[in-house]
Amino acid sequence: MASGAPRYYTVSWEQLHRDSKALAWRLVERGPFRGVVAITRGGLIPAAVVARELECRVIETVSVVTYDEERRGEPSVVKPPAAAGDGDGWLLIDDLVDTGTTAKLVRGILPRAHFATVYAKPAGRPLVDTFVTEVSQDTWILFPWDTEAQFVAPIARSAGGAAGG
């Protein structure tokens, strides 16, 4: 049923915490890690949860900008990780791998890091080593830091279907 309209998948704070902890369960046997590198900004919260669960105290960041307020652009590193070298022994965390644009750029910086994301879309999935949940390429994930609770009309109203009683 392709309508051309984007699909949305809303993730609550509680769900993000559960999914990030599930990621830690998948990673615990791969450690110990020298440290965690969070891809900012989306990877900050999952990285904090995973670092806590794996008892990893060294946390580094790499800041990549791929979106501006209006469109997707060419990615650029605005802050490289200071201490992770080529990534050997490090765990690289992001919230989502989508098209793989950010993943390719960061893999170039930290080629030996173990790359893990909470969510993965098919186009980017081959670039990560570990993930928890796959969503379709046409799904837009609404993370809790980007949303507020508000009324949403029933699906039947927005799908143009007959309202049931």
Residues of the binding site for guanine: 98, 141
Query: In what helix (H) or strand (E) does residue 104 lie, and over which residues does it extend?
Result: helix 101-109
- What's 145's DSSP letter? G
Output the six-digit token pair for 110.
């930290």
Q: Is 138 a catalytic residue?
A: no
Residues of the binding site: 41-42, 94-102, 140-141
Q: Is 94 a catalytic residue?
A: yes
Q: Which of 33, 151, 135, 6 is nearest to 90 (CA)?
A: 33
Residues of the binding site for xanthine: 98, 141
Q: Which of 68, 86, 94, 146 is catalytic?
A: 94
Output the six-digit token pair for 6.
């984007």
Q: Which of 86, 88, 98, 129 is catalytic?
A: 98
Cα separation, 111 vs 60, in Å, equals: 16
Residues of the binding site for Mg(2+): 95
Residue positions annotated with a catalytic role:
94-95, 98
